[in-house]
């Protein structure tokens, strides 16, 4: 069964450093998302991406964040200058363009620890 | 603002039936989803309701009442592996994005 993959599974970085989280969505999906989940809390929407551009973003997704689809398979989330409060699990998700577009498939997540 | 309310914890006995409720207040509404998340795992899609009524998928059913801004997830014939957190999530945006706003989750503990 096709699945969303994410790398790395765990990233430790120092405050102020840049990190890039990588995702490979399911191949025939056209909508891509990033969510984050601070330990013990709910999943929060960051950004959605369709047709090579951001379609929506939340208040969390400020100028420190950016997304990119550098090639036909990867989808990345960059945090330019990490803060302690960026420590969280980051999930990538994807969905079809039509039909069951409401069903989002989540990757296993990248645990980001900012020290 | 957006808010979804669901119980924080529920405990039920193996083999029993449990209902997890969700009420929502969102600026837009296009559908209510349910996701399951085991500890340390990723959210997994369970069901989606865009219209009023009951949707059944195996042991899991989900109900929606748009007029009451209310839905529930019903789990039947509970198994130990059903112990997990269950999140309701509203699709509150229209064409161009299917972003989800999640509730805080209900931790279900299934006991023997």
Instruction: Note the pLDDT tens digit of each residue in B27-62.
Output: 788 899 999 999 989 999 999 999 999 999 899 999
Give 3-state DSSP helix, strand, coil % of chain B, rounded to 5. 5, 55, 40
Answer yes or no: is pLDDT of B94 > 80.
no
CB contact under 8 A, B42 and A104: no
Distance from C-alpha of A35 to C-alpha of A44, rounded to nearest angstrom? 5
In angstroms, rounded to a whole number, what is the distance separating the alpha carbons of residues A29 and A4? 10
A22: β partners: A7, A76
- Strand B106-111 versus strand B9-13 pairing type: parallel
How far apart, in whole angstroms, are the C-alpha atoms of residue A8 and residue A16? 19
Distance between CA atoms of residues A49 and B98, nearest Å: 10
Residue A99, pLDDT above cutoff 80:
no
A42 and B96 in contact by Cβ < 8 A? no
How does A25-45 read in b/e, with b if 16+ C-beta sit within 10 Å?
bbeebebbbbbbbeeeebbbb
State percent of chain B over pLDDT 70.
95
Between B38 and A99, the more confident residue is B38
Residues from chain A that touch B50, judged by Cβ atoms under 8 A, are 102
Identity of the residue in A48, A55, A107 whose CB atom sits nearest the CB atom of B42? A107
| Residue B98 with chain A: CB contacts under 8 Å | 31, 48, 95, 101-102, 104
A103, HSE (Cβ side, Cα atoms, 13 Å): 12
Identify whether the C-beta of residue A107 lies closer than 8 Å to the C-beta of residue B42: yes
Confidence of residue B92 (pLDDT cuts 50, 70, 90): confident
Whether residue B98 lies within 8 A of chain A, CB to CB, comes out as yes
Please name which of A56, A37, A13 lies closest in space to residue A108, comparing C-alpha atoms.
Answer: A37
State how far the Cα of A39 lies from the Cα of A32, in Å rounded to an integer: 23
| Residue contacts between A and B (CB atoms, under 8 Å) | 60
* A88/B77 Cα distance (integer angstroms): 34
Q: Taking CB atoms and an 8 Å cutoff, what residues of chain A touch B101?
A: 45
Assign 3-class secondary structure to A2-70.
CCCEEECCEEEECCCCCEEEEEECCCCCCEEEEEEECCCCCEEEEEEEECCEEEEECCCCCCCEEEECC
Q: What distance in Å separates the CA atoms of residue B109 and residue B91, rounded to the nearest whole number? A: 27
- The arithmetic mean of pLDDT across residues A73-77, rounded, is 95
Q: What token pair was written down for A104?
A: 């989002």
Interchain contact, A45 vs B99, CB within 8 Å: yes
For the residues B6-29, what does the mean pLDDT come to? 94
């Amino acid at each position: 069964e096709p699945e969303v993959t994410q790398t790395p599974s765990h990233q430790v970085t120092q405050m102020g450093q840049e990190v890039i989280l990588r995702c490979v969505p399911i191949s025939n999906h056209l909508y891509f998302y990033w969510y984050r989940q601070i330990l013990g809390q709910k999943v929060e929407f960051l950004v959605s991406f369709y047709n090579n551009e951001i379609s929506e973003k939340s208040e969390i997704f400020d100028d420190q964040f950016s997304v990119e689809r550098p090639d036909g398979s990867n989808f990345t989330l960059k945090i330019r200058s990490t803060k302690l409060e960026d420590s969280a699990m980051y999930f990538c998700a994807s969905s079809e363009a039509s039909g069951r577009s409401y069903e989002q498939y989540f990757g296993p997540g990248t645990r980001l620890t900012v020290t | 603002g957006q808010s979804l309310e669901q119980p924080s914890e529920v405990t039920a006995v193996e083999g029993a039936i449990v209902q997890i409720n969700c009420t929502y207040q969102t600026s837009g509404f296009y559908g209510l989803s349910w996701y399951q998340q085991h500890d340390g795992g990723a959210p997994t899609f369970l069901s989606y309701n865009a219209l009023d009524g009951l949707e059944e998928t195996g042991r899991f059913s989900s109900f929606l009442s748009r007029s009451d801004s209310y839905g529930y997830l019903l789990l039947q014939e509970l198994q130990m592996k059903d112990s997990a957190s269950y999140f309701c999530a509203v699709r509150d945006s229209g064409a161009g994005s299917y972003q989800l706003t999640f509730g805080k989750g209900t931790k279900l503990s299934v006991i023997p």
